[in-house]
Amino acid sequence: MVAGSGARRISLIVASVLVVFCWTITALPADTPSAVIADDVALTKATIAQLAAKDFAGVRERLDTTKIPISDQRLGQMADVIGQDEPASIETISLSGFHNIKTEDGHSRIVLEYGLAGKWVVVDAAITSKAGLKQFVRLYLTVNALPLRELNAFHLFGSGPAQYAFLAGWMAAIGLTAWAMIVAFTRHRGWRRWVLIALMPLGLTPTVAMNWITAQIWLMEANGGRIVRVFALRYPMALFAHTELRAPFLYVSAPLIAFGYLIWHWVSSRRPRPLASGADVFD
């Protein structure tokens, strides 16, 4: 009996470690940016330097004026925001984009933060590349009194009821999924055990996300559109991430396989076991 209890304890420890590994492996850092995006970062920095020097003609040559109709007065205001002093720091906040491997045509989204005297300026830029021509289709400057790492830092305390309600649901989804994985690990053997464990964290519904700083809620699969699929795939179904401006957000998709398995396990455990026959008793 003691040996059986020890084996069960070891199985629970192994299952718990496996659950933690399944979630932490997805939080590994992303790959380094491609050479094309690195070139776009250099182009953005050079354009901001032109803007600070008030070389408006040079800046305008790099803009897609059909997407950014901007006047010299507005460029002058942006130049005054940057100033002519050398920035104390230039930090890359986020990089994203997609480019064709052969032609290098595509788009990049770049967010930089300039540390200046008494202020931090966020440069939000988008660049399209086509036939070797690079143009800005987005170029915004935002002035902050604090750096983004402080403005958008995650703080557990001091948030509103909406954040805590979402956090409770997020933790419940993870906890139930982890419990389903542990139950599957202890009840099954062989390939069934590992298939069930691998499928448990699969989310099969549209993913609901919440910005922890602003409490904004959105569907990640919507992508700005109005049509949302009834079923979606998200693996793992619940995790945390950061927006392009480093604001932390939580997201969750319902793990229907894990929930269904727990319901099946609960129903089957409440079924009365068949009584032994008389022949079995007196044999």
* Predicted local confidence at residue 30, as pLDDT: 47
Is 227 within a domain? yes
The bridge status of strand 248-252 relative to strand 238-242 is antiparallel
By percentage, how much of the chain surpasses pLDDT 70?
83
Last residue of a domain, one of 83, 117, 151: 151
Of 129, 151, 173, the domain-final residue: 151
Per-residue pLDDT, averaged over 58-64, amounts to: 93
> Do residues 136 and 192 both lie within one domain?
no
- Does 55 share its domain with 139? yes
pLDDT band at 271 (very low <50, low <70, confident <90, very high): confident
21 against 255, higher pLDDT: 255
Q: Taking the complete model, does pTM exceed 0.85, yes or no?
A: no
pLDDT at 3: 54
pLDDT tens-digit series, residues 112-130 = 999 998 899 999 999 999 9
Range of the domain at 186: 153-273
Q: What would the DSSP string read from start to end of 117-170?
A: TTEEEEEEEEEEEETTEEEEEEEEEEEESS-HHHHT---SSS--HHHHHHHHHH
In this structure, of 179-183, 225-229, 252-256, the range with the lowest mean pLDDT score is 225-229
Q: Look at 164 and 85; give whichever has higher pLDDT.
A: 164
> Does residue 235 carry a pLDDT above 80?
yes
Average pLDDT over residues 229-254: 92
- Quick check: helix, strand or coil at residue 252? strand
